[in-house]
Amino acid sequence: MEHNHVHSHHCECGQETKTENLAELYNLYSKIDMENLECLNEAVENSVKSVFRPWDQRLDSTKFVESDADEELLFNIPFTGNVKLKGLIIIGGEAGTHPSVVRLFKNRPHMTFDDAASQADQELNLVEDFKGTVEYATKIVKFSSVYHLTLHFPKNYGSDTSKIQFIGLKGDWSEGHRHGVTLCTYEATPSMADHKDKVLETTNLNI
């Protein structure tokens, strides 16, 4: 009997540890550039910002994104740095409104539904998940250096509109991309100056 009691207690501890780990692992919401986050076909403007939130708030059903004209939703998610995306969890709305497929695109800012007709970097079939218990693994090699993630939800489980309550993103973040942008800007400036100098020289020669 004592052995069983110890075993039972051990399992409970393991469960608590797992939940704490998930809260730590699913923290990429804090690395999203919320000012430039956008969702196409959302019924309520800027409701997209409410679905990216801490793990312990995942079951808050008052916060959600619902589609407007049809069941499609498209999220353009810019990060504040480079992300190695390892997994995602998607909690949908009530039965029928839960998306049945998600298509992932890497580093293609400001995608539209027309753009999403192209080949996705990964496509996942989704089950109806109302508690955040299903984790989907990404192709880590493919999503190892992501500064912008697009999630396209083309269809759902039969409802006229789709509803998403929570999107959890798991992975590692680094400041890599921001430095890259600074470098590009810096390199572009001298070439403009060179160009002006050349124009000036040509004008002088003509005179």
Residues 41 and 116 in one domain: yes
Q: Which residues contact 151 (CB under 8 A, 6 or more apart)?
A: 74, 75, 77, 102, 103, 104, 167
Q: What is the pLDDT of residue 118?
A: 97
Exposure b/e, 11-25, CB count within 10 A at least 16 = b: eeeeeeeeeeebeeb
Domain CATH for 135: 2.60.120.470
User: What is the sign, positive or negative, of the torsion defined by CA atoms of 11, 14, 19, 20?
Assistant: positive
Do 195 and 143 lie in one domain? The reply is no
Sorted by sequence, the CB contacts under 8 Å of residue 81 that are 6+ apart come out as 31, 147, 173, 174, 175, 176, 177, 178
Which pLDDT band holds residue 21 (cuts at 50, 70, 90)? confident
At residue 95 the predicted structure's pLDDT band, cuts being 50, 70 and 90, is confident
Residues paired with 85 in a beta bridge: 171
Does 125 lie in the same domain as 61? yes
- Would you say the C-alpha torsion 164, 126, 137, 78 has a positive or negative sign? negative
Regarding whether 182 and 155 lie in a shared domain, the answer is no
For residues 51 and 118, what is the distance between their CA atoms, to the nearest angstrom? Answer: 26
Question: Of 46, 34, 38, 49, nearest to 111 (Cα)?
Answer: 38
Residue range 32-51: mean pLDDT, rounded: 97
100-124 pLDDT per residue, tens: 999 999 999 999 999 999 999 999 9
In the chain, the percentage of residues whose pLDDT exceeds 90 is 72
Strand-pairing partners, residue 153, are 73
What's the CA gap between 39 and 171, in Å, rounded?
A: 22
Do both 169 and 182 map to the same domain? no
Inter-residue contact 51 to 92 (CB < 8 Å): no
pLDDT band at 22 (very low <50, low <70, confident <90, very high): confident
Instruction: Quote the domain boundaries for residue 99.
Output: 2-174
Query: Does residue 200 sit in helix, strand or coil?
Result: helix
**pLDDT value at 29 more than 60:** yes
Q: Is the pLDDT of residue 186 over 50?
A: no
Shared-domain flag, residues 46 and 101: yes
- In the predicted model, what is the mean pLDDT of residues 85-90? 98
| Percent of the chain whose pLDDT exceeds 70 | 75
Do 67 and 106 lie in a common domain?
A: yes
Same domain, 138 and 206: no
